[in-house]
């Protein structure tokens, strides 16, 4: 039941309590760890933007509107705005990030009403409305064959390049970055599955290297790795990972230069570094989830068995694949040229 008296708690106090609650749910298995950390991060960001010393119950819909605007203008340290030289300042928050932040605030204020931190939910008075997305954004769509080839080619070149002896060992992350991009594009894991991967999750059976992926809902799947990925993985384990190993995360496959497990937010920066090496004619920004779309789209376009693609991606239902299947240029024309009712004579 909702408490009779509203507690006059500050924004920071309620954010801290809410963060403790979602992390406790994660520890008991009631909430996925990745989801709990997203909620916690967004609510702590909200406290920073709203004013941590203000009383939560004093915030109005207009105040939350202002927070949403501040978040939209806030630089996203994980992404860089494109520039001709491949650098650029940190980009603003994407539409997807803004929508996620709004969902996190909605969940926070629903809980705040139940906990007795606010009398009324200010989200109900918010006037800002999310833009209609009109389909997937360019960074979330599948890469074309040429774009994917450029990205994978850059990754493989990084893996094959000799180490720069003039740099500190903990700054030599080319092998790791190449492996990240190859695994995302070739296997299509969720970014949380990639960053949770441990060295012991990779094994060899009958000469084939497999990755045991721990996915949603406690489900696991064993995915065979393509030979090109296996070669880079083995070089990374033998030469690249030891340079980053500080003994802090002895099981983690992917390590930061500090020797910590690579964080989810670091993966976009890795992709962007590899993209900077791609020929501008074949370069297009893409997110980790966009690479998951790329895997699904190209496997299905190559007439790979749908159930096999489902198992690679870790979906429980074939119908979910429809969300990951993007249109590729020229594929309808190619399909009609080899029309089965015309015996392949579709011209």
> Could you tell me if residue 333 is inside a domain?
no
Query: Residue 103 is part of which domain span?
Result: 11-125
Helices 264-275 and 288-301: crossing angle in degrees, nearest 10, is 70
What's the confidence (pLDDT) of residue 150? 93
Q: Does residue 337 contact residue 346 with C-beta atoms inside 8 Å?
A: yes
What's the confidence (pLDDT) of residue 99? 87
Q: Are residue 201 and residue 302 in the same domain, yes or no? A: yes
More confident of the two residues 328 and 184: 184
Mean pLDDT over 26-46 rounds to: 89
**pLDDT higher than threshold 50 for residue 251:** yes
> Could you tell me if residue 342 is inside a domain?
no
**pLDDT higher than threshold 70 for residue 108:** yes
> Could you tell me if residue 344 is inside a domain?
no
Mean pLDDT over 331-339 rounds to: 53
Mean pLDDT over 192-201 rounds to: 94
Q: Which of 69, 94, 125 is the last residue of a domain?
A: 125
Residue 207 — pLDDT band, cuts 50, 70, 90? very high
> Could you tell me if residue 271 is inside a domain?
yes
Selection from 11, 132, 16 nearest residue 67 by Cα: 11
Residue 132 — pLDDT band, cuts 50, 70, 90? very low
Number of structural domains (the chain) is: 2
Q: Does residue 32 contact residue 26 with C-beta atoms inside 8 Å?
A: yes
**pLDDT higher than threshold 70 for residue 206:** yes
Upper half-sphere CA count for residue 186 (Cβ side, 13 Å): 22
Q: Are residue 198 and residue 61 in the same domain, yes or no? A: no
> Could you tell me if residue 171 is inside a domain?
yes
Tell me if residue 210 falls in helix, strand or coil.
strand
> Could you tell me if residue 204 is inside a domain?
yes
**pLDDT higher than threshold 90 for residue 54:** yes
CATH of the domain at 287: 1.10.443.10
Q: Are residue 47 and residue 115 in the same domain, yes or no? A: yes
> What number of residues does the chain have?
347
- What is the rounded CA–CA span in Å between residue 232 and residue 175? 7
Instruction: Please give the model's pTM, rounded to 2 decimal places.
Output: 0.61
What's the confidence (pLDDT) of residue 169? 58
- Mean pLDDT, rounded, of the chain: 83
Mean pLDDT over 266-279 rounds to: 93
**pLDDT higher than threshold 70 for residue 335:** no
More confident of the two residues 167 and 184: 184
Q: Does residue 298 contact residue 229 with C-beta atoms inside 8 Å?
A: no
Residues whose CB falls within 8 Å of the CB of residue 45, separated by 6 or more in sequence, listed in order = 71, 74, 101
Lowest mean pLDDT among 18-32, 107-121, 158-172, 230-244: 158-172
What's the confidence (pLDDT) of residue 220? 92
By percentage, how much of the chain surpasses pLDDT 90? 45
Q: Are residue 204 and residue 80 in the same domain, yes or no? A: no
Q: 3-state SS of 93-113?
A: CCHHHHHHHHHHHHHHHHHHH
Mean pLDDT over 246-265 rounds to: 90
Instruction: Please say whether the dihedral angle defined by the alpha carbons of residues 8, 9, 10 and 14, taken in this order, is positive or negative.
Output: negative
Parallel, antiparallel, or unpaired for β 90-92 and 75-80?
antiparallel
Mean pLDDT over 138-160 rounds to: 87
What's the confidence (pLDDT) of residue 307? 83
**pLDDT higher than threshold 60 for residue 210:** yes
Q: Are residue 90 and residue 230 in the same domain, yes or no? A: no
**Terminal CA-to-CA distance of the chain, rounded, Å?**
70
Q: Are residue 236 and residue 290 in the same domain, yes or no? A: yes
Q: Are residue 184 and residue 313 in the same domain, yes or no? A: yes
What's the confidence (pLDDT) of residue 305? 78
Distances (CA, A) of 321 to 30, 211, 304, 306: 26, 21, 13, 8
What's the confidence (pLDDT) of residue 84? 47
Catalytic residues: 190, 216, 289, 292, 315, 324
Lowest mean pLDDT among 81-95, 191-205, 297-311: 81-95
* CB < 8 Å & 24+ apart, contacts of 20-27: 21/111
> Could you tell me if residue 334 is inside a domain?
no
DSSP 218-276: G-EEEEEPPHHHHHHHHHIIIIIHHHH--SSSTTBSSB-TTSSBPPHHHHHHHHHHHHT
Q: Nearest 10 degrees: CA dihedral of 341, 344, 345, 347?
A: 100
Parallel, antiparallel, or unpaired for β 208-214 and 220-224?
antiparallel
Kindly report, residue by residue over 92-105, the tens digit of the pLDDT.
777 888 888 999 99
What's the confidence (pLDDT) of residue 5? 74
Residue 254 — pLDDT band, cuts 50, 70, 90? very high
């Amino acid at each position: 039941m909702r408490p009779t008296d509203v507690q006059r708690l500050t924004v920071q106090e309620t954010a801290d309590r809410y963060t403790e609650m979602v992390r406790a749910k994660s520890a008991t298995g009631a909430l996925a760890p990745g989801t709990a950390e997203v909620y916690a991060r967004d609510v702590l960001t909200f406290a920073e933007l709203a004013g941590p010393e203000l009383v939560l119950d004093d915030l109005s819909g207009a105040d939350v509107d202002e927070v949403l605007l501040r978040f939209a203008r806030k630089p996203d340290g994980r992404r860089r705005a494109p520039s001709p030289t491949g650098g650029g300042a940190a980009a603003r928050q994407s539409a997807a990030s803004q929508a996620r932040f709004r969902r996190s605030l909605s969940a926070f204020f629903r809980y705040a009403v139940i906990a007795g931190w606010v009398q009324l939910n200010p989200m109900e008075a918010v006037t800002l409305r999310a833009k209609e997305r009109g389909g997937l954004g360019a960074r979330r769509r599948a890469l074309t064959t040429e774009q994917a080839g450029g990205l994978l080619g850059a990754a493989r070149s990084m893996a094959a390049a000799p180490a720069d002896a003039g740099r500190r060992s903990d700054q030599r992350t080319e092998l790791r970055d190449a492996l990240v991009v190859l695994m995302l594009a070739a296997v299509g894991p969720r970014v949380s599955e990639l960053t949770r991967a441990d060295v012991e999750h990779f094994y060899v059976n009958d000469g084939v290297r497999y990755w045991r992926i721990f996915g949603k809902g406690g489900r696991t799947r064993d995915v065979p790795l393509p030979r090109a990925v296996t070669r880079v993985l083995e070089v990374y384990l033998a030469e690249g990972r030891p340079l980053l190993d500080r003994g802090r995360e002895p099981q983690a496959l992917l390590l930061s230069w500090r020797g910590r497990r690579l964080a989810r937010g670091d993966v976009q920066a890795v992709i962007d570094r590899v993209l900077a090496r791609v020929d501008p004619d074949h370069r297009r920004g893409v997110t980790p989830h966009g690479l998951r779309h790329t895997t699904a789209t190209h496997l299905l376009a190559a007439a790979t068995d749908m159930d096999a693609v489902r198992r690679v991606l870790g979906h429980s239902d074939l119908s979910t694949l429809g969300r990951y299947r993007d249109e590729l240029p020229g594929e309808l024309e190619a399909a009609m040229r080899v029309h089965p009712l015309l015996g392949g004579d579709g011209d």
